[in-house]
Amino acid sequence: MKTVLDPTGERQPAVRALLPRPPALHGRTVGLLDISKARGDVVLDRLAELLAADGALVRRYRKPTFARTAPVDLRHEIAEQCEVVIEALAD
């Protein structure tokens, strides 16, 4: 018999309501968060082009490593500077 341990210790998943989405991104500040996986920057480069062409102001951010959550100061910076955030990963 094998025992599987859950490192989160979460007995019930957290229930979170989705925030309302803006009707359009034109004129909004959109943060693109690269989680530092290989080729994630390629996806975000193209997405930045498309968003800018659509009238969004794009800000780029990068986590130090994909293996951990973003540092508190980075999350705070993104929250202060952006109205919408897109996180991307690729391999």
Tell me the per-residue pLDDT of 48-85, one tens digit each, with 9 for 90 and over. Answer: 999 999 999 999 999 999 889 999 999 999 999 999 99
Q: How confident is the model at residue 90 (pLDDT cuts 50, 70, 90)?
A: low
What per-residue confidence (pLDDT) applies to 53? 97
| Of 52, 34, 30, 32, residue with least CA distance to 90 | 34
In which residue are the tokens 């004129």 written? 27
Q: Which residue has the tokens 């062409």?
A: 53
Mean pLDDT of the chain: 88
pLDDT at 10: 66
Name the pTM for this structure.
0.78
